[in-house]
Structure 1
Amino acid sequence: MSEFQLQDPPTDGISSVKFNQKSSQFLLVSSWDQSVRLYDIDTNRLKHTFSHKQPVLDCCLTDSSLSFSGGLDSKLIMYDYNAEKETLIGTHQDAIRCVHFCHSANLIITGSWDRFIKLWDTRSPNCIGSYEQPDKVYTLDTCDQKLVVGTANRKIRIWNMNNMGMPEARESSLKYQTRAIKCFPNRQGYVLSSIEGRVAVEYFDMNPEEQRKKYAFKCHRVKEDDRELVYPVNAISFHNSHNTFATGGADGMVNIWDPFNKKRLCQFHSYPTGITSLCFDATGTTLAIASSFNYEIGDLSPNQIPKDNIYIRRVSELETRPK
């Protein structure tokens, strides 16, 4: 195992860390300091940075030269790193919370607090569809042609991107607010987390036999003085080959789980503050970890707030392969 911190991290809350789906060299990072930063992790160098007018809530890389990002300014910005040029692709009526690249459909998908998701064609960037959701969009992910959206009030919608007619309506099996959703690389289902230290493993197939496989479990909790402290599970990232996944919590811990055998494979050391975002690279050998204070354990004075950091951890087969 080896781990190092990236040089020149953001100066305010880190909202997202994303590798692109082909390369393990470049990491895109968005932040509440209004910046979008591209790092070369092979040389531990900040390669490029540009800024929105307001905090940035999410971002994605389509390749090493093209990024998309959005946030509180409600604008979807494309940045071409070869040309060093930014382009306004479109807008929502409220903050853009999710910016996701669907590789199989070659689409950018945005989810907003305005209760809409929008699909954007990356080849001639323009909006090719706008779809109302039951509430503010908090999280989304795709696998093949399925789009899974988590909104406020624990609502889940599963859309078929080949036919964006009537989505399948579900409700989270967890009792508290949804924080993150990620789809299994094997396309069989998805994992969702909540603000109340729980994770649920769900399956797409509504056949009763398949539905019996679903379950939920507690995590990111700490026993202290006969009390149990419960932390939000902010981040989920899947290992593309093994279908195991990492979770990051506001307790500053990262765990890797085997969903098939219902066990924890490993737990990393404690990080200085809460984990706000995680991302495995395409090979599953590297995990980017954002350790960033986001006020989930109350206010601290400025001199008490830990610095924001991004850790790059080389992970082993022992840590990620199902037992």
Structure 2
Amino acid sequence: MHFECLQDSPKDYISSLLVLEKAPHVVATAWDGTLSLYDYEANELLLRMKHENGLLSSVWSACGKKYVGSVQGDILEVDLESERFELVSEEATLGICAMSSNSSNLVAGSWDGSLQMLDMRTGSIWHNEKLGNGKILALDSNDETVVVSYAGGKVVTYDQRNMNTPVIRDSGLKFQTRDIKLMPQGNGYVQSSLDGRVAVEYLNDESLRFAFRCHRMNLPDTQFVFPVNALAFSPTNGHLYTGGSDGKVFAWNLNTRKKSEELPKLDESVVRLAISSKVLCVATADDSFKTLATIQDAETQSGQIYFTKL
């Protein structure tokens, strides 16, 4: 298995990455406000739209609707034919950093702690709340459950039939969460952190929970620990893929609790993963600015998008 690089990658840090199941298409948003649509089979850029503000998140819903979240806190619907962004909600005061969708709802989380639920059939926000005083870090959803990680080491889960009775848990990770994903069966979730660790949690049986270390480099006198930035479950075999700042992507069998695959190392940090039954896509970037000791005007290099057919 080897990676191919998509041509004409975005010129700024890639903030979200999607791969479509029904077409050979990859979608990427970036901090420069661009949304890029690629055909990975032809290795061709099909469309690039640009918004005036940076874009942080995106979803391509099963019902065919497409949304992005901006750094200004706006939820925008994407019209590919007219190449326009239509404002749906501006209720958040800070960036829409995470999005997910299921058959009828869009879930959006913001740096200001806002959690919004949008009925995609009517275009109306039917649930909007603030999660404590901490910003939302990552979220995921399916038709029954929403899971949200937010600052302060907390994870909250909702049954979408009754959003007024959330269940709040400690994250199980000592350091900040980087990504969170529901298991394909919906019976639990996984979350990754800055300290090279992944926690596996079960919704109805906490005795099954466990965590494992990954994306580490062992040397004779020390150990380098890399953030685990991205998670994705294979829709075919259910294996969990992890991407880290060491430039590596691993696959894990959570049933046996063992690594099932190690992909070729990439030159820069893996910041996003997306997978379908046919292809695995990886976005990389120089994310060293995240670990600078002081605030600086750090110039981020353009990202790259790689893919490998499964």
What TM-score bracket applies, with the shorter chain setting the length? over 0.9
**Which position in structure 1 is the counterpart of 2:282?**
289
Q: 1:249 aligns with which of 244, 248, 269?
A: 244
Report the Cα offset of residue 124 of structure 1.
3.0
Match of 1:164, SS state, is strand
Quick one: distance in 2 between partners of 1:3 and 1:45?
Answer: 16
**Greater mean alpha carbon deviation, residues 71-80 or residues 220-229:** 220-229
Structure 1 unaligned runs (5+)?
316-323
**Which position in structure 2 is the counterpart of 1:12?**
12
Q: Structure 2: which amino acid aligns with 1:165?
A: N
Q: Structure 2: which amino acid aligns with 1:124?
A: T
Preserved CA contact (<8 Å) 2:13 2:302: no
Quick one: distance in 1 between partners of 2:302 and 2:135?
Answer: 30
Q: CA RMSD in A?
A: 2.1
Report the Cα offset of residue 293 of structure 1.
1.4
Preserved CA contact (<8 Å) 2:25 2:37: yes
**Which position in structure 2 is the counterpart of 1:97?**
97
Report the Cα offset of residue 8 of structure 1.
0.8
Alignment of 1:1-323 (within 5 A): 1-20=1-20, 22-62=21-61, 66-91=65-90, 92-103=92-103, 106-134=104-132, 135-205=134-204, 210-224=205-219, 226-281=221-276, 283=277, 285-294=278-287, 295-296=289-290, 298=292, 307-315=302-310
Preserved CA contact (<8 Å) 2:175 2:194: yes
Distance 1:271 1:213, change over 3 A: same
Report the Cα offset of residue 36 of structure 1.
1.2
Q: Structure 1: which amino acid aligns with 2:271?
A: T
Distance 1:110 1:268, change over 3 A: same
Match of 1:212, SS state, is helix
The CA deviation string for residues 238-289 of structure 1, in whole angstroms up to 9 with x for no partner, is 01232211000111110100111010011111111101100111x2x31110
Structure 2 unaligned runs (5+)?
none
Report the Cα offset of residue 85 of structure 1.
3.0
Report the Cα offset of residue 292 of structure 1.
1.1
Report the Cα offset of residue 76 of structure 1.
1.1
- Identity %, equivalent residues: 29
Quick one: distance in 2 between partners of 1:40 and 1:112?
Answer: 30
Preserved CA contact (<8 Å) 1:26 1:64: no
Quick one: distance in 1 between partners of 2:122 and 2:44?
Answer: 31
**Which position in structure 2 is the counterpart of 1:321?**
none
Q: Structure 1: which amino acid aligns with 2:279?
A: T
Preserved CA contact (<8 Å) 1:143 1:184: no
Report the Cα offset of residue 83 of structure 1.
3.6
Match of 2:173, SS state, is coil
Distance 1:307 1:86, change over 3 A: closer
Quick one: distance in 2 between partners of 1:143 and 1:154?
Answer: 22
Compute the TM-score of the two structures, normalised by the length of structure 2.
0.92
Report the Cα offset of residue 296 of structure 1.
3.7
The CA deviation string for residues 110-145 of structure 1, in whole angstroms up to 9 with x for no partner, is 100121110112223221211221321110001331
Quick one: distance in 1 between partners of 2:130 and 2:171?
Answer: 19
The CA deviation string for residues 137-186 of structure 1, in whole angstroms up to 9 with x for no partner, is 11000133110000011110001111111200101111111111001101
Match of 1:165, SS state, is strand
Distance 1:137 1:156, change over 3 A: same
Quick one: distance in 2 between partners of 1:64 and 1:298?
Answer: 42
